[in-house]
Amino acid sequence: MAFHIDPVAGRLAFTGARLLDPATGLDTIGDLLTDGEVIAGFGPGLFAEGVPEGAAVVDCAGLCLAPGLVDIRTQVREPGEEHKGTLASTGQAATAGGVTTMVCLPNTLPVIDDMSVVEFVARRARRVGLTKVYPYGAITQGLAGSKLAELGMLAEAGAVAFTDGVRAVADAQVMRQALNYARTFGLLLVEHPEEPSLAADGDMNAGEMATRLGLTGIPREAEVIMVERDLRLVELTGSRLHFGHISTGQSVDAIRRAKARGLPVTCDTAPPYFALNENAIGEYRTFAKLSPPLRSEADRLAIVEGLADGTIDAIASDHAPQDEDAKRLPFGQAAFGGVGLETLLPVSLELYHNGHLTLLEVLALLTHRPAHVFGLPAGRLAVGAAADLTLFDPDRAWQVREYELHSKSKNTPFDYRPVQGRVVLTVVDGRRVFALDP
């Protein structure tokens, strides 16, 4: 795999591609031209009279050319925990996975609850020159859950949404205040739905397997109680709210009913929750220790159903790098989290290969639907839009191996899983930033 980055954006002529744009339903064989940082044109027969002079030709040979993926839940670990990941290493992992836009959580050191940290992240991401990075701002100061951060000032500095990251806003009155403020100023809040007192000291999903392994369980009620509480607060305040990484069937049901009542709520999930279940823990496999925890097979199937019927609005990587010292421990002491940028597309494509969704429906969950929820200028093919593209082979088979990942941390729950679908080329603002070695 290569990370030769085009120094400037020129003209790229993609020929013979399967053009896919889930925002418009486009699925056709054709060509695409970039000019500088934008898409100049696309469609069947675009180069009928020849490729424009001076354009670099990319022969797609029928492979899929789609908008770059939009990942709305990534932990970059910089600043503060660069031994786990940096904006550069995360950018390499993202572009290798076809992700051209990502939104990073605020649980850095220092926390993104101050304008200077928002500006630092944006400045560093521009200098790295890989995936576009938009920061979340913290809902509460220091992610402590007690006093609201300066949401308005953070939004002015560039924060696109607000969350306390891997912590729920446990105090209902604080959450109510945050929702009222967000409604007044048109801001989006994102909740980690887990009632902390029920999840405290838990290691995995509560149930028969946790009992057999002698591990402390986290009941699925910890998630659904927080979802149902926040749905009541949305009803009270009229504010928009997004739930991150939904993992239980009961949560899907609650959100489905809320949407039917017209409440302004959205949600996402992550590949582990529709591709794995608690059995992946096996004999204390710490790479499968995630937050929220892997659930039962019934919950996994309910997540698939929620994706298929549109209840779940997006798929996010939930990229949470942990260093080897934090994972190579007894299960109860190991840190939560798994890397997910490079497996986001191939594992999501299992929904297509297994017949649950069409290819365009899978791509919609990874591109224009998350971009729409977060108001990001990304996720679609359009003349004049940013030339953020991914070229991929949906059928190419390979095996996930931790030591081949570009992420600085290697803690993937999909280690040694056979998958179908491989990114061949990633383009950001008209510059080639990743190419798969032939």
Domain assignment present for residue 336? The answer is yes
pLDDT at 6 (0 to 100): 80
Nearest of 371, 388, 367 to residue 188 by alpha carbon: 371
Q: Which residue in 31, 164, 318, 415 is the catalytic one?
A: 318
Share of the chain above pLDDT 70, in %: 99
The span from the CA of 31 to the CA of 40, in Å, is 11
Is residue 1's pLDDT more than 60? Answer: no
Domain assignment present for residue 151? The answer is yes
The two beta strands, 26-35 and 38-43, are: antiparallel
SS3 139: coil
SS3 176: helix
User: For 182-224, what is each residue's pLDDT tens digit?
Assistant: 999 999 999 999 999 999 999 999 999 999 999 999 999 999 9
pLDDT at 341 (0 to 100): 98
Sign of the Cα torsion 97, 382, 371, 185 reads: positive
Q: Which residues are bridge partners to 397 per DSSP?
A: 420
Burial (Cβ within 10 Å: 0-12, 13-18, ≥19) of residue 214: exposed
For residue 411, the tally of other CB atoms under 10 A from its CB is: 28
pLDDT at 4 (0 to 100): 65
pTM of the model: 0.97
Domain assignment present for residue 97? The answer is yes
Active-site residue, 318 included: yes
Q: What's the mean pLDDT when you consider all of the chain?
A: 96
The span from the CA of 310 to the CA of 23, in Å, is 14
Domain assignment present for residue 136? The answer is yes
User: For 367-396, what is each residue's pLDDT tens digit?
Assistant: 999 999 999 999 999 999 999 999 999 999
User: For 77-129, what is each residue's pLDDT tens digit?
Assistant: 999 999 999 999 999 999 999 999 999 999 999 999 999 999 999 999 999 98
Angle at 284 between CA 280 and CA 289, to 5 degrees: 65
The span from the CA of 153 to the CA of 114, in Å, is 8
pLDDT at 438 (0 to 100): 74
pLDDT at 5 (0 to 100): 73
Nearest of 101, 105, 115 to residue 155 by alpha carbon: 115
Domain assignment present for residue 8? The answer is no
Q: How many domains does the chain have?
A: 1
The CATH number of the domain where 231 resides is what? 3.20.20.140
The span from the CA of 182 to the CA of 335, in Å, is 32
Identify the band that residue 2 occupies on the pLDDT scale cut at 50, 70 and 90.
Answer: low
The span from the CA of 107 to the CA of 114, in Å, is 12
Domain assignment present for residue 321? The answer is yes
Nearest of 285, 276, 300, 307 to residue 370 by alpha carbon: 307
Domain assignment present for residue 78? The answer is yes
Residue 419 contacts residue 343 (beta carbons within 8 Å):
yes
What are the distances in angstroms from CA 33 to CA 23, 24, 60, 101, 131? 19, 18, 13, 20, 20
Is residue 13's pLDDT more than 60? Answer: yes
Instruction: Residue 331: give the domain boundaries.
Output: 67-374
